[in-house]
């Protein structure tokens, strides 16, 4: 192995600030990488991630999906019949009918936010739109009063930092989770008295074979929705708009060909890959690439490396809203793969599609102001812009 890439700490946020040379080296030369700092294996190739993700009997989720952090009772940490049952209960809030009901609401939210942005001489894409939209939508779905949306957003940001590893779980994370639990219980008590048609009410009343979600499951599914739903969409919107600001010819193409926007959404999600990784635990000794993953050891699936695997994507380091995924015969795996495929992917696509439809219709060009730059989050868990100052040139 190149000395440059020896003993890389994959849980160090700085490792992923400019990771592409590292990812490419490991994907091609050390595709099953042992991180001695955290005692975790990592896979980087598309096919290897698929192998791990589609075999829960060999690579289980029940031991947790973050390194050295214990599992919680949410469906993301279940396998087999329990996962199937729990996912079926949670998915009652994500039916095609529910998504159709959300369509007009999402469009209105985007229209209102863009209208506020174009009134400014300079806007902030993350704060004014990318982070605001998913938290507003999820808050509305759950029936959270709008004056509390920013508070919930702050809690979720703290949870994300803690998700990088136990060394990042301090008093701030514990305090934020305690406050979120109080918020959750207040919502539960209110809906017990006055049930509605919001998502939390649907979950409280969802039933399968006489079983309902218990109190702990409700709490952690509520947490998971906020973390997964908000972070995925925030990063995809902001990261996608950054690329379109740098590729004005592709912006012009989408403006002239709105029918291409759904495909552009897939390329944006591939390019950004909002979550860096998820983990599984080996239930038996497994040989891969001439090495042995021992029973009980964790395996991290490094999604951005897989989404730039040249075995599956032509010119993987090029951003192309016209990318022919059918010709590549590959779909991105930014939403995961197998039984744990992201339940909220349809919601994320809906938000991203409406964002592009509204902006390409109203905005001629997105420019980063002179002397400013887009800065990205430094994290070993998520990928996306932290700050995105922009000038919107109207049509």
Average pLDDT over residues 361-367: 97
Angle in degrees, CA 253, 256, 259, rounded to 5: 90
- Across the strands, what pairs with 35? 40
Average pLDDT over residues 37-46: 97
pLDDT band at 156 (very low <50, low <70, confident <90, very high): confident
Average predicted confidence (pLDDT) for the chain: 93
In this prediction, what percent of the chain has a pLDDT beyond 70?
A: 99
273: alpha, beta or left? (left if phi > 0; alpha if psi -120 to 50): left
Tens of pLDDT, residue by residue over 347-363, are 999 999 999 999 999 99
Average pLDDT over residues 72-82: 92
Residue 2 has pLDDT above 70, yes or no: no
Q: Are 176 and 268 in contact (CB under 8 A)?
A: no
Q: 275 Cβ partners below 8 Å, 6+ apart?
A: 231, 232, 303, 334, 381, 382, 383
Average pLDDT over residues 362-368: 97
Q: 298 Cβ partners below 8 Å, 6+ apart?
A: 39, 40, 41, 63, 64, 67, 279, 280, 281, 282
Q: Give Rg (Cα) of the chain.
A: 21
Tell me, what's the pLDDT at 1?
Answer: 52
Average pLDDT over residues 45-56: 98
Q: Are 313 and 326 in contact (CB under 8 A)?
A: no
- Which CATH topology does 3-394 take? Cytochrome p450 (1.10.630)
Q: Are 20 and 13 in contact (CB under 8 A)?
A: no
Tens of pLDDT, residue by residue over 278-331, are 999 999 999 999 999 999 999 999 999 999 999 999 999 999 999 999 887 789
Q: Whole-angstrom Cα distance, residue 45 to residue 302?
A: 8
Tell me, what's the pLDDT at 114?
Answer: 98
Closest CA to 40 of 289, 302, 274, 332: 302
The two structure tokens encoding residue 263: 């495909």
The two structure tokens encoding residue 35: 């991180």
Average pLDDT over residues 9-13: 94
Place of tokens 């902006």: 359
Across 174-178, 339-343, 353-357, 376-380, least confident range: 174-178
The two structure tokens encoding residue 203: 């979950």
Across 20-24, 103-107, 170-174, least confident range: 170-174
């Amino acid at each position: 192995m190149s000395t440059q890439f020896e003993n890389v700490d994959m849980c160090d946020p700085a490792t992923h600030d400019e990771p592409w040379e590292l990812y490419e080296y490991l994907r091609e030369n050390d595709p099953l990488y042992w991180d001695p700092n955290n005692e975790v294996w990592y896979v980087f190739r598309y096919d290897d991630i698929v192998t791990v993700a589609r075999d829960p009997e060999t690579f289980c989720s029940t031991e947790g999906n973050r390194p050295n952090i214990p599992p919680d009772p949410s469906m993301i940490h279940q396998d087999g019949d329990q996962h199937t049952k729990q996912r079926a209960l949670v998915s009652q809030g994500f039916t095609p009918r529910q998504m159709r009901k959300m369509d007009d609401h999402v469009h209105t939210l985007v229209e209102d936010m863009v209208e506020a942005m174009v009134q400014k001489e300079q806007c902030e894409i993350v704060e004014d739109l990318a982070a605001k939209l998913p938290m507003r939508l999820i808050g509305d779905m759950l029936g959270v009063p709008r004056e509390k949306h920013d508070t919930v957003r702050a809690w979720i940001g703290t949870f994300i930092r803690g998700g990088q590893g136990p060394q990042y779980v301090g008093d701030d994370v514990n305090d934020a989770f305690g406050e979120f639990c109080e918020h959750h219980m207040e919502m539960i008590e209110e809906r017990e008295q006055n049930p509605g048609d919001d998502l939390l009410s649907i979950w409280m009343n969802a039933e399968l074979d006489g079983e309902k979600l218990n109190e702990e499951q409700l709490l952690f599914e509520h947490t998971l929705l906020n973390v997964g739903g908000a972070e995925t969409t925030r990063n995809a919107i902001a990261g996608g708009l950054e690329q379109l600001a740098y590729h004005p010819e592709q912006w012009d193409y989408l403006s002239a060909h709105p029918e291409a926007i759904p495909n552009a959404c897939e390329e944006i999600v591939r390019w950004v890959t909002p979550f860096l990784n998820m983990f599984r635990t080996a239930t038996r000794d497994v040989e891969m690439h001439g090495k042995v993953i021992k029973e009980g050891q964790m395996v991290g699936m490094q999604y951005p490396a897989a989404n730039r695997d040249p075995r599956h994507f032509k010119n993987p380091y090029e951003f192309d809203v016209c990318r022919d995924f059918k010709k590549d015969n590959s779909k991105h795996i930014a939403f995961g793969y197998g039984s744990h495929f992201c339940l909220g992917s349809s919601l994320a696509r809906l938000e991203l599609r409406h964002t592009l439809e509204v902006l390409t219709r109203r905005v001629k060009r997105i420019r980063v102001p002179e002397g400013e730059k887009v800065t990205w989050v430094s994290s070993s868990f998520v990928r996306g812009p932290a700050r995105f100052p922009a000038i919107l040139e109207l049509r």
